[in-house]
Amino acid sequence: MIYLDNAASTWPKPKGVADAVKQAIEEYGANPGRGNHQLARRANQAIAHTRQLLTQLLGIKDPSNLLFFANTTQALNQAIKGLVRPGDHVILTGWEHNAVARPVAFLQQKEKVQVTYLSYDAKLGWAKQVEQSIQENTRLIVTIHGSNVSGEILPIEEIGEVARKHGVFYLVDAAQTAGLVPIHVEQLPIDLLAFPGHKSLFGPQGTGGLYVHESVPLEPMIQGGTGSRSEELQQPVERPTGFESGTPNTPGIAGLGAGVQFILETGIEKIYEHEMKLLYRLWEGLSNIREVQLYTLEPPELPIVSFNLSNVSGTEVAMILDQHYQIAVRAGLHCAFLAHQQMKTEQIGAVRVSPGYFNTETDIDQFIQAIREISQAFA
């Protein structure tokens, strides 16, 4: 199987990831922070180690400001619902994933939150558009860092400067960039950053996190056991424990640590360079097929390409690739209806191809040849 769906989850993983998961299950499968015996301490050490590695990769000074969640969606829900109040105003771009759009729409319906959705205006640029949309009651700006549909990277530093200027909190969805693009949160004008463990950080599914600047008055959205202050019925708000109620995914977090270690040892620049080399080869090959419609004028800034064939639906293309060529891609709306509205593909969706670090030029060439053959077969 040629796997080209890395924007959904990277696969395969570095060998150390499975080894770390297996070790956690077989050698110290106890609850971290829920006892003082050696197995509980070792589990706690594994989580602390991963937290420390992530702070190193993401440029976070205080590890307690990094919170673990099961995925980016949970992290984004915590960030949005833990910060936005009834009557507040929120600004989103038109590229947002449903992990952002749906929590905000929920608050819009239930809490009378006002929402502004921005479509890109090339004359103004993102930062200027955001600034012109700020109101007296604007509480939060949320933008994706890199689109999971178009591969576009948004200028988060410029947008963040606007947010700081107007005293508005800024949340960045780094689902497609964490582990692939250098991010140093303490050097950026951002307040919160959500990320998955299972994508470019090479961790297992069921892992993710949220960076929260120490000045952000975030309220925990889930209440429960934290392993400390058990005599108090009110939820503690100390970070990270007040935001990590319940038994954590210790094997997954240990595996995530191994994935981050792989990035630190390999070099994030090397990983990005390899994936973009494949992207350019993919882009050039698809550009030379007459029936292919690409949705950006230039190669994207991330290893993501969305396209359609003029003579066959995207869903059928993906099915044929899977069944006849043993190639895995994703077709449809990619949980990002707003983004497809931006590309005018909301009625038909698109085929998304996303090479990863363990793909080769041969994989890309075989994919291009398969698309050429499918296109000719439906001519």
pLDDT in 10s for each residue of the chain, 379 residues: 999 999 999 999 999 999 999 999 999 988 897 778 999 999 999 999 999 999 999 999 999 999 999 999 999 999 999 999 999 999 999 999 999 999 999 999 999 999 999 998 878 899 999 999 999 999 999 999 999 999 999 999 999 999 999 999 999 999 999 999 999 999 999 999 999 999 999 999 999 999 999 999 999 998 887 777 777 778 778 889 889 888 999 999 999 999 999 999 999 999 999 999 999 999 999 999 999 999 877 889 999 999 999 989 999 999 999 999 999 999 999 999 999 999 999 999 999 999 999 999 999 999 999 999 999 998 7
Residue type, 167: G
pLDDT attached to residue 18: 98
pLDDT attached to residue 251: 98
Query: Do the Cβ atoms of 333 and 250 come closer than 8 Å?
Result: no
- Stated pTM of the model: 0.96
Q: On the CB side of 53, how many CA atoms lie within 13 Å of its CA?
A: 24
Query: Do the Cβ atoms of 293 and 343 come closer than 8 Å?
Result: no
Question: CA–CA separation, 90 vs 111, rounded Å?
Answer: 12
Q: Which residues pair with 220 in a beta bridge?
A: none
pLDDT attached to residue 222: 86
134: Cβ–Cβ under 8 A, 6 or more apart, which residues? Answer: 91, 162, 166, 168
DSSP state of 312: B
pLDDT attached to residue 15: 95
Question: CA–CA separation, 322 vs 122, rounded Å?
Answer: 38
Domain residue extents for the chain: 15-266, 267-377
Residue type, 352: R
375: Cβ–Cβ under 8 A, 6 or more apart, which residues? Answer: 289, 290, 291, 292, 309, 311, 312
Reduced to 3 states (helix: H, G, I; strand: E, B; else coil), residue 363 is helix
pLDDT attached to residue 298: 87
Query: Do the Cβ atoms of 328 and 322 come closer than 8 Å?
Result: yes
When the candidates are 3.40.50.150, 3.20.20.80, 3.30.1360.120, 3.40.640.10, the CATH number that belongs to 15-266 is 3.40.640.10
Domain 267-377 top-level CATH class: alpha beta
Residue 373 phi, psi (nearest 5): -70, -40
pLDDT attached to residue 324: 98
Question: CA–CA separation, 105 vs 108, rounded Å?
Answer: 5
Residue 321 structure tokens: 């690739």
